[in-house]
Structure 1
Amino acid sequence: MLRIGLTGGIGAGKSAAATALAEQGAVVIDADRLAREVVEPGTAGLAAVVEAFGTEVLAADGTLDRPKLGRVVFGDDAARARLNGILHPLIGTLTAERVAAAPSDGVVVHDIPLIVEGGLAAGFHLAVVVMAPEDVRIERLTGLRGMPEEDARARIAVQATDEQRAAAADVLLDNAGPLDRLRDAIAELWELRLAPYAAGLAKGVPAPLPSRPGPVDPTWPAQYARAAARLRTWLHRPDLLVEHVGPTEMPTPGATVPDVLDLRVVLPDAEAVRSTAGALAGSGWIVGAEPYPDGATAHSADPGRPARLFLAS
């Protein structure tokens, strides 16, 4: 299945994007909703939170008073780490259950607020980031949610910057305007990229390579960095040397070159090549029969980012 990491700063419209993706056919797993489920009355999660932070974080009816708990952990790194240590394993278990229940050829969207802050983007086939200018986000938070402006600005300040989100994003969705515009952008993204990517992944069919050269793209180095990080994460090899090779590595300014991202991994021997190629199943890389000296070749199933991977020994 194709796994998408969906994120965006507070007030950017991530939830609206998640709803639009669900309307297209995606299975949406909302991390915030799971975080509420694991601390419902009678759960081990709620008992652990009360043990850690006291009964003052409970409302009169015995439910978790989230605003009170938020005030306890906001700005306190140690308290927040203690809370995360309780919630994250429980949320992880629920997430795994929901993923296992999803169609094997489907699109699963993980709606997670802090993908960028947590360095989680490489764990998904694609990272989709919803963006909106800060003044628009503050207007939404104060006008629609009734949040005091000072609180809105404080929440935005502790989250990732727009530059950090853009660097982590495979897809940027502009949500500064009307909601219909966001829905249209997501419908197009689904038709042209997500649905074909999921189908190619399920069937083991790579995306076609471009037939004509095009202009130099200044974002190629950032695209390589994301692809390399994703490969290291999938293979559980944080130290894996992934080289950027081919025409997109150091193109001549003004030249036209094929828009194909070429990566190369040099491995110790033929057995390492075989085992690594086998470990790529489900990663988004489709190992094919194209010859490569003393190695193997894989192609990406992502039609939005044509790429080749060379495994050499």
Structure 2
Amino acid sequence: MLKIGLTGGIASGKSVVASRLAELGAVLVDADALARKVVEPGTPGLARLVEAFGADMLDAGGRLDRARLGAVVFGNPTQLAALNGIVHPLVREAAASIIATAPDGAIVVQDIPLLVETGQGSKFHLVLVVDAPDDVRIARMLEHRGMTRAESASRMAAQAARTDRLAAADVVLDNAGSLDALLAQVNGLWADRLVPFAANLRRGVRAARTGTAVLSVPQADWPAQAARLGSRILAAAPDDILGVDHIGSTAVPGLAAKDVIDLQVTVSDLDAADRIAPALAAAGFPAVPGAGFDTPKPADPDPAQWQKRFHANADPGRAVNVHLRPAGSSGWRYALLFRDWLRNDPQAAALYEDHKRALTEQFAGTKGTHAYAEAKEPWFTDVAWPRMDGWAARTGWQPPSYPVSNDQVDT
């Protein structure tokens, strides 16, 4: 199944998006609704809240007085943490029960207000953030929720900063405008990305790539995207993955590149790579058959040192190449050295960009990118290798040592 995390600050319009996704066919798991359910009268959750905050948190009918509890916890980090420590585990347990009954191939949307605050992003294939400027959200709370400006500010301060939510987003849905504009974004996302993503996951295939090799201007958020993707890969097989590195042109600041994120997944050996292939496929990165070798370079002519496993994106909205290579192999070392050489030698980066631009012009009328990629290979051997090898010798460059902490993603 395709797992989507949906979040947004208070009064951002997240509930509208959740409802529309459910209308389109998603299985909706509403964390707010579950948070109410797990503290209904007679539940262990309500008993624990009374124990922590006192019986005066109940109304005359024995139900939780949310307004009273809110007045106690919002603006008080210690009390808010105590509340979250009780409710969040219960909500997650209830959500897991719903997800377990979802049909195969379903698109499951978990509406989680505190997704960013609780660090759950790597659990999902995509994180959707509904966004609106702070002043717009305050105006909505004043008009539609009857809050004072101080109450609105307090509620917003209790959540992640807007910048932090945007940094966690794979998709941002802009709700600064009209309701129709927001719903049009949701409809397009569903048809163009979520439905085909779910279909690719079900079939275990990569998303189709069309068109020719086109260089994009450098994008400042490529490293952040790589970090999010790497975190999902690590979470898929934490016992077998030694580390994930952002490699290739998008890992070099200021370098024009095809808009494809390249990640190198370090494993102990190719048996480990084969063992985790199903887990990577389930996480959205299926194996690509017939792509198990890099071209040997003068660093080591032994073909066995250049074997790898190759996976790619099931998500049609973000092209990703995932190279699984054994730690210490020549192919693994070359990828890291090439990246670091380009990062540290502006003349080398400019030389490589000129070469790529010449090839994109040469193959502009060619369908696909295979011919472009093949034409680059001699440059890696004849031009790049002697220069980067010399740079490594002069600087004392060494690749990272593994094993590393499983929460480390080098961007």
For this structure pair, what is the TM-score category when the shorter chain's length is used for normalisation?
Answer: over 0.9
Aligned to 1:277: 277
**3-state SS of the aligned residue for 1:63?**
coil
Deviation digits for residues 186-208 of structure 1, max 9, x if unmatched? 10011110110011111112102
* 2:325 alignment counterpart: 312
Structure 2 match to 1:132: 132
1:233 aligned residue: 235
Q: Mark the CA change 1:278 to 1:239 in structure 2 (over 3 Å): closer, same or farther.
A: closer
| Count of equivalent residues | 311
Q: CA deviation at 1:77?
A: 3.0
**Residues 9-24 of structure 1 mapped to structure 2, 5 A cutoff:** 9-24=9-24
The aligned residue for residue 375 of structure 2 is none
Q: For 1:59-82, what per-residue CA distance to the aligned partner results, in whole angstroms no more than 9, with x for missing partners?
A: 000111111112222233333233
- 1:247 corresponds in structure 2 to 249
Amino acid at match of 2:175: N
> Residue 47 in 1 paired to residue 47 in 2?
yes
Aligned letter for 1:226?
Answer: R
The root-mean-square deviation of aligned C-alpha atoms, in Å, is 1.8
Q: Which moved more, 1:262-271 or 1:33-42?
A: 262-271
User: How far is the alpha carbon of 1:152 from its aligned partner?
Assistant: 0.3
TM-score normalised by length of structure 2: 0.72
Instruction: Please give the per-residue CA displacement for 1:90-136, whole angstroms capped at 9, x wherever unaligned.
Output: 21111011101212201111101111122221211101001111111
Residue-by-residue CA offset, 1:23-57 (whole Å, 9 max, x unaligned): 21111111010000001111121112112222101
Alignment counterpart, residue 315 of structure 2, candidates 283, 302, 313 = 302
**Partner of 2:296 in structure 1?**
none
Q: More displaced, 157-166 or 111-120? A: 157-166
Show the 5 A alignment for 1:111-126.
Answer: 111-126=111-126
Question: Which secondary structure does the structure 1 equivalent of 2:251 belong to?
Answer: coil
Cα distance between partner residues in 2 of 1:240 and 1:189: 34
Return the letter of the residue paired with 2:216: P
Deviation at 1:237? 5.6
Looking at both structures, which has the greater relative contact order when contacts are Cα pairs under 8 Å and sequence separation is at least 6?
1
Does the CA contact (< 8 Å) of 2:226 and 2:261 recur in 1? yes
Give the TM-score of the pair, scaled to structure 1: 0.94
Using the alignment, how far apart are the partners of 1:21 and 1:89 within structure 2? 25
Give, in whole Å, the separation in 1 of the partners of 2:250 and 2:314. Answer: 19
CA distance in 1, matches of 2:112, 2:82: 19
Q: Measure how far apart 1:260 and its partner are.
A: 1.6
CA contact (8 A) 1:290 1:296 kept: no
Alignment-mate amino acid for residue 307 of structure 1 = V
Contact 2:244 2:263 in 1 (8 A): yes
Q: Deviation per CA, 1:221-251, whole angstroms, max 9, x where unpaired?
A: 1111111112122223698421112232227
Structure richer in helix, relative to its length: 2
Q: Is the 8 A contact 1:210 1:306 kept in 2?
A: no
Contact 1:125 1:284 in 2 (8 A): yes
* Separation of aligned partners in 2, 1:53 and 1:107: 38
* CA pair 246-209 structure 1, distance change in 2 beyond 3 A: farther
Letter of the 1:211 counterpart: G
TM-superposed deviation, 1:287: 1.5
Deviates more, 1:187-196 or 1:64-73: 64-73
Q: Give the structure 2 partner of residue 203 of structure 1.
A: 203
- The residue correspondences of 1:1-313 to structure 2 (distance < 5 A) are 1-212=1-212, 213-216=214-217, 217-236=219-238, 240-250=242-252, 253=255, 255=256, 257-293=257-293, 294-313=307-326
Kindly state the Cα deviation for residue 252 of structure 1 after the two structures are TM-superposed.
5.6
2:176 maps to amino acid: A
8 Å Cα contact 1:38/1:87 also seen in 2: yes
- Structure 1, 25-34 or 39-48: larger mean CA deviation: 39-48
Aligned-partner SS, 2:249: coil
Gaps of 5+ in 2: 294-306, 327-411
Distance 1:174 1:218, change over 3 A: same
Question: How far off is 1:162 after superposition?
Answer: 2.2
Q: Please tell me the residue identity of whatever aligns with 2:265.
A: V
State the distance in 2 between where 1:238 and 1:167 align: 28
